[in-house]
Structure 1
């Protein structure tokens, strides 16, 4: 089973961090091998951090989601009320008994009355007016009968969906053409990325999308977007498109999402670097200046090829921007696109209700491979916190703390984007360092820190430079390397912050070169077969979920406690070395990715993006009733090296989930990823995205539907194509047959 998905779009599996900072796993090893400390629980420092949590966490208010209840779950579910779904490899959506699913909107569906229905044969065009590809993060915003924001509306709303990437072969009649790319193909692929805003309504008890709604719109890689915060107007942002460095063109590779307490949408730009190319001689053209160091750190060394080759489609400006080589004579980059990459990698704020409102990239939150953004529980008179992860191996966990203190009047402001500027354009950006005693610290990334100002590997010029090159600043202060921090979410009652760490195929029992060894956070390295083949290389491919509790439960805390909530594993794996959370067949999973808490029920929804388990089951979605930081036990693992010597590793495992506290709720169609969750405020309707079913297809096989791995959702009766349809990413609606809350 341990075959990693071989997918070029998964650039997040690259290891670009060459700093000497310790990894999270080294810290865990050091922390948890101190047995005298562990005999007393999670440790004295952690106990001090946790001591004041219970009272402070809920002081003040909302869950951070602009269109869900402003208070913590009033009636949280303490026991899951459905029977677990069995693992399967069926080409359909399998959901718990007593629930019904339907497709709401899929790739290519028209968003205007004049746009024709999607033929799904590769001939469709005009993706600026169609739903994009690879549905990912999703948020629901309530809409009243008067067409204005209504946080309590469960019958009408706006769904805002990210479109992360493409299965480009299915977008063209005969598949994607080799380079140089035809302009017509690139002009179809570019706008299939980005964000969709779609009105949805419940009619006759069933949700559908409103094709002719004036709220419907697309934000694509071509949409004008303003730069907000300290980076606005900086030298590093100057391009031929924006010589002043105050704006950029579009957003791309949008993955996880978030929503603000004032009712706007946040989208994270994740693996954006791979869309751009650099010439093989670009270092010399740049004079081997500091930009070369930054480009290498962000995954664009000279000679790097682009993912889709859009720059080969012609000399027009819309294609030239994808080549970030220095081609012009200017000293500031205002005559070419050498700085174009610096305009990507941010949290982007969009007002879903107002198509005339400007869109902003919030640079104060830092630039890296953003997965999602989760607000801590707002408290009146205190600053807001936004938690974020950088999704690549060896990257970091971040927190932004606003300068402005939360004002309850801003929960329903007259100007939402202006409110975003108030809270998101000024503040402090922190990076996490995990200590060996079970505590952690937030280190501010500021040019006033002598360690950053004097960093030998990269010379920062000012605070804007620190934010643009946040990865390098985090390297400088010795932040803790993590294993692909993906989605983050905040528990609506306790305020504890959860992060999925998807996997790390570079984990080895006997590491060499840049490989990482076994330790407490990732104490597993094992071989298994995939689809009946030969055993794959050993590694830890199942991932885990960590959680932190801020000191005093306050957003501005600079210290925290942490532990591991769940380790992914197959149920029949060795319980002493692999299945450390004692998962059963109703609970086992691999490669956690999507993560989201219901503000209505308190359920933690966990979704997978897996290549290690797919001989047993398609990707899945689980529901959990989590505990709290420090509720687990210490476990000691032992391994035999090739020379016969033993290696012992101590790890801290969160409380093992009871049968009714973690269950598989849904299994998706073949070759898909389950990602993104949203709900109506009453908790009775769940929206879930099914991404890239059947994505493994070559140009040579595009003409033969029998070669497609999936035909969903056409085989479920949705859209053109029927049983032999080209597969499509889509959003589904899930309701309970008795009308109750989902998960109850």
Structure 2
């Protein structure tokens, strides 16, 4: 597809209309800036933009963060680094987002980073392979180390001479951990508590219209187990892999929520109204009357897509949670008062929200193939959802689902669903995970091939090799193509793409390098190549001429 000058300027006109669709703060899992507004485009600038050279990296198994031509990176922070005299950076960094301290200075602000999980071998020197029942063999000291290394980090970072660095001991720097007291934003207690112990399994997230961080609890059952109910509504505890419940009396019902963190003081709350399940992300949109719409996906096979619509301005408590029927294009209310099937099964709305998965199936929601990240297109307003895979249903490569809300209204109760891109060798990617739109509306995407299946001859993922970062350009000769621009180190996953406010830096997590390590003295990866040779989850800043050209900000401002 080739763009001439007239069509290109027509595209810019659509981009400027996009500012009417998306609020200025772009509340979502990766967007941080609005599309460019009307500017004068010279012939010389157009030629430079048209001739962006995108080099599609070949799949590789190299143990390094490999970048395409026109990109470079530097490390901002890695596991174990000190952020203050009292705290260190946690393990398995995932989602990242950035809020400038001064809206007029895009080079100084607060970075929030999720810490999703722990590898016990690295974090607390516990080798699960040596025990038949590893969850019962850990010591309390080891569990406490694991609890400290999950949650999230708030760190002040600033860009000096082109390199982002942590401002050590800044008053904003703090850890939110598996032990931090967190309030439940609800009128009734859950399992007798209104304040719960900590957060964990923090996957993706976002930023609220009022400039607080959003973090989402995903695979909490791996740490605290889960409560299952039979046909007679009799509850049974399903034990966790890590066995934290043997050391602390924290019921599974205290986890699986969307968490909001105040960057100023680190106070946090869990939003019960948004439902309890394996939240991959929570993508927010502010309506004209300041009511909030929140999209979220349940990252598990045959689970569902959700949307919360608030009934009051700036509220993530008052409102209705809906679940998607993608076959008929309907948002179905998970409302105990109006749904007879829910009244028959559950005692009240609180129980509906705690058991959102069961409630969704009762009202007829569509099972999906691991809905993960959700992003709103800043040009069209369409909603994109990554469906990572569903191996039991022979969907190994996943796809990207597109939702078009009726009349473009985010609080509509009907929509149209279609597949935007299917994973597989033809499109060059597999297992899509995190998404982010840049300032020009180009779509960036990371992949999530599990380390246990990656580069295995008997698995279907051999052609794709290591996990990667891709971009789908919006304009130019490569428009619509899926282009690999970065490859992750061995066993690693690239997560949490988020652009700086000026569009010149892409913050990105390198998560769980060396995840398949069985012998700490012989790790499968050595990234980021510290002297100790131990692989460490790392947050990097990706920069370069290619990103600036893709955002076409510098060229337009100078034209």
The answer as to 2:440 corresponding to 1:601 is yes
What is the TM-score when the length of structure 1 is the normalising length?
Answer: 0.65
Does the 8 A contact of 1:433 with 1:479 survive in 2? Answer: yes
Q: Which residue of 1 aligns with 2:239?
A: 305
Counterparts of 2:349 and 2:145, CA distance in 1: 38
Tell me by how many angstroms 1:60 deviates. 7.1
Tell me by how many angstroms 1:183 deviates. 2.1
Counterparts of 1:181 and 1:372, CA distance in 2: 31
Q: 2:248 aligns with which of 314, 320, 341?
A: 320
Does the 8 A contact of 1:57 with 1:554 survive in 2? Answer: no
Task: Label 1:81 to 1:445 Cα distance change in 2 as closer, same or farther (>3 A).
Answer: farther
Does the 8 A contact of 1:500 with 1:593 survive in 2? Answer: yes
Counterparts of 1:287 and 1:250, CA distance in 2: 29
Q: Which residue of 2 aligns with 1:255?
A: 203
Q: Which residue of 2 aligns with 1:37?
A: none
Counterparts of 1:80 and 1:452, CA distance in 2: 55
Tell me by how many angstroms 1:172 deviates. 3.7
The answer as to 2:306 corresponding to 1:450 is no
The answer as to 2:213 corresponding to 1:213 is no
Q: Which residue of 2 aligns with 1:190?
A: 147
What is the TM-score when the length of structure 2 is the normalising length?
Answer: 0.85
Q: 1:136 aligns with which of 72, 94, 100?
A: 94
Does the 8 A contact of 2:441 with 2:474 survive in 1? Answer: no
Does the 8 A contact of 1:64 with 1:374 survive in 2? Answer: no
Counterparts of 2:474 and 2:21, CA distance in 1: 21
> What's the secondary structure of 1:394's corresponding residue?
strand
Tell me by how many angstroms 1:661 deviates. 4.0
Listed as ranges, the gaps of 5+ residues in structure 1 are 1-53, 116-128, 145-149, 239-244, 293-300, 313-318, 323-339, 406-421, 508-538, 571-578, 628-656
Tell me by how many angstroms 1:321 deviates. 1.7
Q: 2:528 aligns with which of 710, 713, 737?
A: 713
Does the 8 A contact of 1:268 with 1:372 survive in 2? Answer: yes
Task: Label 1:567 to 1:69 Cα distance change in 2 as closer, same or farther (>3 A).
Answer: closer
Does the 8 A contact of 1:366 with 1:468 survive in 2? Answer: yes
Counterparts of 2:534 and 2:22, CA distance in 1: 49
Tell me by how many angstroms 1:558 deviates. 0.4
> What's the secondary structure of 1:471's corresponding residue?
helix
CA displacement 1:119-175 (0-9 Å, x = unmatched): xxxxxxxxxx1111111111111113xxxxx3x432111110111111211224574
CA displacement 1:542-581 (0-9 Å, x = unmatched): 11110101111112100011210111112xxxxxxxx4xx
> What's the secondary structure of 1:404's corresponding residue?
coil
Q: Residues 509-658 of structure 1: matches in 2 within 5 Å?
A: 539-570=394-425, 579=426, 583=427, 588-598=428-438, 600-611=439-450, 614=455, 615-616=462-463, 617-625=465-473, 658=478
Q: Which residue of 1 aligns with 2:264?
A: 353
The answer as to 2:423 corresponding to 1:423 is no
Task: Label 1:69 to 1:266 Cα distance change in 2 as closer, same or farther (>3 A).
Answer: closer
Q: Which residue of 1 aligns with 2:503?
A: 683
Q: Which residue of 1 aligns with 2:191?
A: 237
User: Which is higher, the Rg of structure 1 or of structure 2?
Assistant: 1
The answer as to 2:66 corresponding to 1:246 is no
Does the 8 A contact of 2:157 with 2:167 survive in 1? Answer: yes
Counterparts of 2:51 and 2:352, CA distance in 1: 46
Q: Which residue of 2 aligns with 1:290?
A: 233
Q: 1:362 aligns with which of 257, 271, 278?
A: 271
Counterparts of 1:94 and 1:625, CA distance in 2: 20
Q: Which residue of 2 aligns with 1:730?
A: 538
Tell me by how many angstroms 1:74 deviates. 3.4
Counterparts of 1:550 and 1:63, CA distance in 2: 21
Counterparts of 2:430 and 2:546, CA distance in 1: 31
Counterparts of 1:200 and 1:70, CA distance in 2: 18
Q: Which residue of 2 aligns with 1:268?
A: 216
Listed as ranges, the gaps of 5+ residues in structure 2 are 1-15, 40-48, 456-461, 553-559
Task: Label 1:658 to 1:359 Cα distance change in 2 as closer, same or farther (>3 A).
Answer: same
Tell me by how many angstroms 1:453 deviates. 3.6
CA displacement 1:260-293 (0-9 Å, x = unmatched): 1211111110010221258xxx99xx9997361x
Tell me by how many angstroms 1:73 deviates. 4.3
> What's the secondary structure of 1:226's corresponding residue?
strand
Tell me by how many angstroms 1:93 deviates. 0.6
Task: Label 1:78 to 1:381 Cα distance change in 2 as closer, same or farther (>3 A).
Answer: farther
Counterparts of 2:91 and 2:405, CA distance in 1: 37
CA displacement 1:73-116 (0-9 Å, x = unmatched): 4389898643222211111111121211111111111111x36x
Tell me by how many angstroms 1:305 deviates. 3.1
CA displacement 1:228-255 (0-9 Å, x = unmatched): 03xx323x431xxxxxx31111111000
Counterparts of 2:409 and 2:52, CA distance in 1: 30
Does the 8 A contact of 2:71 with 2:547 survive in 1? Answer: no
Does the 8 A contact of 1:58 with 1:493 survive in 2? Answer: no
The answer as to 2:181 corresponding to 1:224 is yes
Tell me by how many angstroms 1:209 deviates. 1.1
Counterparts of 1:398 and 1:667, CA distance in 2: 31
Tell me by how many angstroms 1:214 deviates. 1.3
Does the 8 A contact of 2:287 with 2:293 survive in 1? Answer: no
CA displacement 1:10-54 (0-9 Å, x = unmatched): xxxxxxxxxxxxxxxxxxxxxxxxxxxxxxxxxxxxxxxxxxxx9
> What's the secondary structure of 1:370's corresponding residue?
coil
Q: Which residue of 1 aligns with 2:8?
A: none
Tell me by how many angstroms 1:678 deviates. 1.1
Q: Which residue of 1 aligns with 2:11?
A: none
Task: Label 1:590 to 1:393 Cα distance change in 2 as closer, same or farther (>3 A).
Answer: same
Tell me by how many angstroms 1:737 deviates. 4.6
Q: Which residue of 1 aligns with 2:27?
A: 65
Counterparts of 2:310 and 2:323, CA distance in 1: 15
Does the 8 A contact of 1:56 with 1:552 survive in 2? Answer: no
Does the 8 A contact of 1:684 with 1:741 survive in 2? Answer: no
Q: Which residue of 1 aligns with 2:106?
A: 154
Q: 2:347 aligns with which of 452, 461, 472?
A: 461
Does the 8 A contact of 1:90 with 1:669 survive in 2? Answer: yes
Task: Label 1:713 to 1:447 Cα distance change in 2 as closer, same or farther (>3 A).
Answer: same
CA displacement 1:324-352 (0-9 Å, x = unmatched): xxxxxxxxxxxxxxxx2211111111111
Counterparts of 1:348 and 1:739, CA distance in 2: 31
Task: Label 1:732 to 1:184 Cα distance change in 2 as closer, same or farther (>3 A).
Answer: same
Tell me by how many angstroms 1:397 deviates. 0.3
Counterparts of 2:38 and 2:120, CA distance in 1: 44
Tell me by how many angstroms 1:364 deviates. 1.0
